[in-house]
Amino acid sequence: MKRVVVLGATGSIGRSTLEVVSRFPDTFKVVGLSARRNVELLAEQAKKFRPEAVAVTEEGALDKLRNLLKDSGIKVLFKEEGLSSLAGELEADIVVNALVGSVGLRPTLAAIEAGRDVALANKETLVMAGELVMRRARERGTRILPVDSEHSAIWQCLRAGRGEEVRRLVLTASGGPFWGKEGLERATPEEVLAHPVWRMGRKVTVDSATMMNKGFEVIEAHWLFDVPVDRIEVVVHPQSVVHSLVEFRDGALIAQLGWPDMRLPIQYALTYPERLPGTWKYLDLVEVGSLRFYRPDTSKFRCLALGYEAAREGGTAPAVLNAADEVAVEAFLEGRISLEEIAKINEATLAQHRNICDPSLEDILEADGWARTAARELIGR
């Protein structure tokens, strides 16, 4: 029996995780769940899965949750400390981190310190602190299991050879709703949020339209698989059927394919190294017919180039880019800046930053705070 904690249980990855878990009741036991503010759904999930503890992070949601779960015997925790308690203090084998934003970093570290494997869907963990997180995981002998579809694909493809035989990683990108179309500059939040292939949270959907998401994924892939940034390539593949590829030194290019469905990578992370049957639609190659790939235009998608730049610089640069982007995306969703200004804010914030090499957690969090203030000032102008 694998004991599972799901952080961010009410979001799209969290809900899919619980769907996977509920199909294998003899394999998994949910011991902890968290949500930001959706206490109704969290209480419903808690009643179904009977975890030992739940946590909610948003101010004002605690009383409501306590009320919904009174007499249930389920412990109710609060705030970011609650997340870290779920990740590090409950008796668990695997922590699924599906939190959105920089709030996901500390719980990942808490899980690692406690010796738990982490199924990681929270991008910020590796974007902000990839070096630190991977080092601590190595020292503690725990595994970081990727949940993102691209990184899961690479992880699966890597089983075809040895680390020293890898020549190149190829990340595929959907290109977002504006691939091959004009009007990116004037796009409204509504247009951007209508992603053609993947149903995701708002932040990552906007990041997908600017390709910032892919820039972050390059940084994550660099840390997860210990491959130099310049051997990680991005190709646009609007169909999102090939989830990513690995090229070995003899030129063999290994790909993982499937219809876009997050349940497969989630299930693979939970059952690794085993594979269990899926409930989703299996890929029919004839139905797909043809596969198309394009080189991304980094002068149009500046955020992708910024991702590479920050990855090459290392240190606190990726954390700064991440923080600036969170502020800029929020401003875009509130109608205060245009889509194209997101890249400008990100670039200007990064340019003002004094990078710190081999940063500690404190350095990273300080850089994160600095970048938020700097980005807000730039937006205010």
Give the residues lining the site for Mg ion (CB under 5 A).
Answer: 148, 150
For residues 251 and 168, give the distance between their C-alpha atoms in angstroms, rounded to a whole number. Answer: 10
Distance in Å, CB of 298 to Mg ion, minimum: 18
Using alpha carbons, list the distances in angstroms from residue 70 to 8, 65, 73: 21, 8, 7
Tell me whether residue 148 or residue 261 sits nearer to Mg ion (CB atom): 148
Distance in Å, CB of 309 to Mg ion, minimum: 20
Residue matched to tokens 């790909």 = 255
Q: Residue 247 — φ and ψ, nearest 5°?
A: -105, 130
Tell me whether residue 148 or residue 368 sits nearer to Mg ion (CB atom): 148
Q: What is the DSSP letter of 294?
A: B
For residues 97 and 5, give the distance between their C-alpha atoms in angstroms, rounded to a whole number. Answer: 8
Tell me whether residue 148 or residue 347 sits nearer to Mg ion (CB atom): 148
CA 105 to centroid of chain Cα atoms: 11
* Residues facing residue 253 across a β-bridge: 247
Q: Are 279 and 29 in contact (CB under 8 A)?
A: no
Tell me whether residue 13 or residue 30 sits nearer to Mg ion (CB atom): 13
Tell me whether residue 116 or residue 203 sits nearer to Mg ion (CB atom): 203
Using alpha carbons, list the distances in angstroms from residue 267 to 13, 119, 145, 251, 358: 11, 10, 11, 30, 34
Distance in Å, CB of 250 to Mg ion, minimum: 28
Structural tokens at position 167:
């020549």
Tell me whether residue 117 or residue 150 sits nearer to Mg ion (CB atom): 150
Distance in Å, CB of 130 to Mg ion, minimum: 16
DSSP string, 338-368: -HHHHHHHHHHHHHH----SS--HHHHHHHH
Tell me whether residue 148 or residue 325 sits nearer to Mg ion (CB atom): 148
Helices of type H across 211-316: 212-225, 263-271, 285-288, 302-313
Distance in Å, CB of 377 to Mg ion, minimum: 31
Distance in Å, CB of 293 to Mg ion, minimum: 17
Distance in Å, CB of 199 to Mg ion, minimum: 13
Distance in Å, CB of 318 to Mg ion, minimum: 16
DSSP string, 365-380: HHHHHHHHHHHHHHHH
For residues 257 and 244, give the distance between their C-alpha atoms in angstroms, rounded to a whole number. Answer: 8
Q: Which residues contact 316 (CB under 8 A, 6 or more apart)?
A: 353, 355, 356, 359, 363, 364, 367
For residues 67 and 23, give the distance between their C-alpha atoms in angstroms, rounded to a whole number. Answer: 29
Tell me whether residue 151 or residue 353 sits nearer to Mg ion (CB atom): 151
| Residue with the CB atom nearest Mg ion in the bound state | 148
Distance in Å, CB of 195 to Mg ion, minimum: 12
Distance in Å, CB of 135 to Mg ion, minimum: 24
Tell me whether residue 142 or residue 149 sits nearer to Mg ion (CB atom): 149
